[in-house]
Structure 1
Amino acid sequence: MDTHAGPSLRASGRDVRDGLIGLVATGVALLVAAWVLDGLSLSPWWTAFVVAAVMAVVDLLVRPALRALVRRAGAVTALLLGVVVQVAVVELALLAVPSAAVASLGATVATLVVVAVVSVVTRWLLGATDNTYLVANLIRRGERRRRRTPRTGADPGASPVGVVVVQVDGLPFPLLQHGIVSGVLPTLARWVRSGGHDAVRWWAQVPSTTPASQAALLHGTSDGIPAFRWYEKDTGRLLVANRPADAAVVEERLSDGRGLLADGGVSVSNIFSGDAPTAFMTMSRITGRGGLGPGRGYVGFFASPFVFPQALVRTVGEMVKELHQRRRQRLRGIEPRVRRRGAYVALRGLTNVLLRDLNVALVAEHMIAGVSVVFVDLVDYDEIAHHAGVARPEALAALAGVDGVLGTLEKVAAAAPREYRFVVLSDHGQSQGPTFRQLTGRGLEEAVREHTDAAGAATLVDTGDVEVWGPLNAMLAEVLSAVRPGAGRADGPPGSGGTGVVVGPQRGTPDTASGERPELVVVGSGNLGLVWFPGLPGRVPIEDLDRRFPALVPGLLSEPGVAFVVVDSARGPLVVGPDGVRVLLEGVVEGRDPLAGFGPRAAADLARVAVMGSCPDLYVHSTVDPRTDEVHAFEELVGCHGGLGGWQNDAVLVHPADWPLDADLLDRTVEGEALLYGADAVHRQLVRWLERCGARRAVPATPLHHP
Structure 2
Amino acid sequence: MSGAAGGDGRDEPRPARPWWRTRLTARDVRDGLWSLVPTAFALGVSAALVPGVHVASPLWLLAAAAVLGVGDFLVRPVLGPLVAVAGPLVTVLLGVAVQLLLLHTALTVVPGLELTSIGALWQVYLWTGLVGVASRWVVGAGDSRWVARELLRRHPHRSADELPPGLLVVQVDGLSLPLLRFCLQAGTTPTLARWLRTGSHRAAGWRAQLPSTTPAAQAGFLHGTTEEVPAFRWWDPHLRRVLVANRPADAAILEERARAAGRAAGRAGLLAADGASVGNVFSGDAPHAHLVVSTSRAGGSGRPYLRYVLRPFVLLRSVLLTVGEVVKELYQGWQQRVRRVEPRIPRRGWYVLLRALTNAVLRDLNIALVAEHLAQGRPVVFVDFLDYDEVAHHAGVARAESLDALAGVDRALGTLAEVAAAAPRDYRVVVLSDHGQAQGATFEQVSGRRVQDVVADLLHARPETASSTVSTATGAEVRGRVDVLVRDFAPSGTAQRAGARQEPSSRGADEVVVVTAGCTALLSVPDAPGGRMDLAALGARWPALVPGLLATPGVGFVVGRRAGVPVALGPRGEHDLLSGAVRGSDPLAAVGPRAAGELARVMGFATAPALLVHSTVDAVTGEVHAFEEQVASHGGLGGWQNDAVLVHPADWPLDEDLLDRGVPGEEQLVGAAAVHEQLVRWMRRAGVPVAPAPGERGSVVAGEGERA
Which amino acid counterpart does residue 514 of structure 2 have in structure 1?
V
Which of 501, 523, 526 is equivalent to 2:518? 526
Q: How many residues align?
A: 662
Q: Could you say which residue in structure 1 is the equivalent of 2:275?
A: 265
Which amino acid counterpart does residue 268 of structure 1 have in structure 2?
V
Moved more, 392-401 or 24-33: 24-33
Which of 88, 91, 94 is equivalent to 2:107? 94
- What is the alpha-carbon distance in structure 1 between the residues aligned to residue 493 and residue 76 of structure 2? 25
Moved more, 675-684 or 357-366: 357-366
Call closer, same or farther: CA 1:520–1:24 in 2, change over 3 Å: same
Unaligned runs of 5+ in 2: 1-24, 697-708
Q: Could you say which residue in structure 2 is the equivalent of 1:3?
A: none
Give per-residue Cα distances to partners, 1:542-564, cap 9 Å, x unaligned. 01100000110000000111111
Matched, 1:134 2:138: no
Matched, 1:69 2:69: no
Give per-residue Cα distances to partners, 1:678-701, cap 9 Å, x unaligned. 000001001111122222236479
How far residue 44 of structure 1 moved from its aligned partner, in angstroms, is: 3.5
Which of 441, 453, 471 is equivalent to 1:446? 453
* 1:188 aligned counterpart, secondary structure: helix
CA contact (8 A) 1:311 1:353 kept: yes
Pairing 1:403-414 to 2, within 5 Å after superposition? 403-414=410-421
Matched, 1:541 2:552: no
Matched, 1:463 2:474: yes
Call closer, same or farther: CA 1:224–1:517 in 2, change over 3 Å: farther
Which of 292, 316, 319 is equivalent to 1:282? 292
Moved more, 43-52 or 394-403: 43-52
Pairing 1:100-179 to 2, within 5 Å after superposition? 100-143=113-156, 146=157, 149-150=159-160, 152=162, 160-179=164-183
Q: Could you say which residue in structure 2 is the equivalent of 1:610?
A: 603
* 1:620 aligned counterpart, secondary structure: strand
- What is the alpha-carbon distance in structure 2 between the residues aligned to residue 273 and residue 21 of structure 1? 39
- What is the alpha-carbon distance in structure 2 between the residues aligned to residue 117 and residue 110 of structure 1? 10
Call closer, same or farther: CA 1:513–1:122 in 2, change over 3 Å: same
CA contact (8 A) 1:280 1:293 kept: no
Q: Could you say which residue in structure 1 is the equivalent of 2:12?
A: none
Give per-residue Cα distances to partners, 1:3-49, cap 9 Å, x unaligned. xxxxxxxxx99977765554222222222222332343333443222
Matched, 1:472 2:485: no
- What is the alpha-carbon distance in structure 1 between the residues aligned to residue 83 and residue 155 of structure 2? 21
Which of 600, 615, 636 is equivalent to 2:593? 600
CA contact (8 A) 2:217 2:226 kept: yes
CA contact (8 A) 1:22 1:123 kept: no
Which of 301, 311, 315 is equivalent to 1:304? 311
Moved more, 103-112 or 442-451: 103-112
How far residue 329 of structure 1 moved from its aligned partner, in angstroms, is: 1.4
Matched, 1:426 2:433: yes
Q: Could you say which residue in structure 1 is the equivalent of 2:70?
A: 57
Call closer, same or farther: CA 1:293–1:684 in 2, change over 3 Å: farther
TM-score (norm: length of structure 1): 0.89
How far residue 393 of structure 1 moved from its aligned partner, in angstroms, is: 1.0
CA contact (8 A) 1:236 1:517 kept: no
- What is the alpha-carbon distance in structure 2 between the residues aligned to residue 141 and residue 450 of structure 1? 65
How far residue 127 of structure 1 moved from its aligned partner, in angstroms, is: 4.6
Which of 684, 687, 700 is equivalent to 2:680? 687
Matched, 1:670 2:663: yes
Q: Could you say which residue in structure 2 is the equivalent of 1:79?
A: 92
CA contact (8 A) 2:85 2:300 kept: no
Matched, 1:591 2:584: yes
* 1:630 aligned counterpart, secondary structure: coil
Call closer, same or farther: CA 1:31–1:15 in 2, change over 3 Å: same
Q: Could you say which residue in structure 2 is the equivalent of 1:244?
A: 248
How far residue 311 of structure 1 moved from its aligned partner, in angstroms, is: 1.3
How far residue 72 of structure 1 moved from its aligned partner, in angstroms, is: 4.1
Unaligned runs of 5+ in 1: 1-11, 154-159, 496-511
Which of 380, 385, 394 is equivalent to 1:378? 385
Call closer, same or farther: CA 1:513–1:94 in 2, change over 3 Å: farther
Which of 211, 223, 230 is equivalent to 1:207? 211
How far residue 53 of structure 1 moved from its aligned partner, in angstroms, is: 1.2
Matched, 1:658 2:671: no
Matched, 1:192 2:196: yes
CA contact (8 A) 1:571 1:583 kept: no
Give per-residue Cα distances to partners, 1:147-166, cap 9 Å, x unaligned. 6x43626xxxxxx2111000
Call closer, same or farther: CA 1:625–1:21 in 2, change over 3 Å: farther
How far residue 514 of structure 1 moved from its aligned partner, in angstroms, is: 7.1
Call closer, same or farther: CA 1:218–1:698 in 2, change over 3 Å: closer
Moved more, 19-28 or 317-326: 19-28
Pairing 1:331-410 to 2, within 5 Å after superposition? 331-410=338-417
Call closer, same or farther: CA 1:583–1:307 in 2, change over 3 Å: same
Matched, 1:574 2:578: no
Which amino acid counterpart does residue 74 of structure 1 have in structure 2?
G
How far residue 394 of structure 1 moved from its aligned partner, in angstroms, is: 0.9
- What is the alpha-carbon distance in structure 2 between the residues aligned to residue 470 and residue 13 of structure 1? 48
How far residue 253 of structure 1 moved from its aligned partner, in angstroms, is: 1.1
Q: Could you say which residue in structure 1 is the equivalent of 2:616?
A: 623
CA contact (8 A) 2:240 2:505 kept: no
CA contact (8 A) 2:47 2:54 kept: yes
- What is the alpha-carbon distance in structure 2 between the residues aligned to residue 354 and residue 323 of structure 1? 18
- What is the alpha-carbon distance in structure 2 between the residues aligned to residue 50 and residue 167 of structure 1? 41
CA contact (8 A) 2:291 2:488 kept: no
How far residue 486 of structure 1 moved from its aligned partner, in angstroms, is: 4.7
How far residue 231 of structure 1 moved from its aligned partner, in angstroms, is: 1.3
CA contact (8 A) 1:460 1:518 kept: no
- What is the alpha-carbon distance in structure 2 between the residues aligned to residue 472 and residue 540 of structure 1? 37
Call closer, same or farther: CA 1:611–1:292 in 2, change over 3 Å: farther
* 2:295 aligned counterpart, secondary structure: helix
Give per-residue Cα distances to partners, 1:96-121, cap 9 Å, x unaligned. 22333334444323321111011111
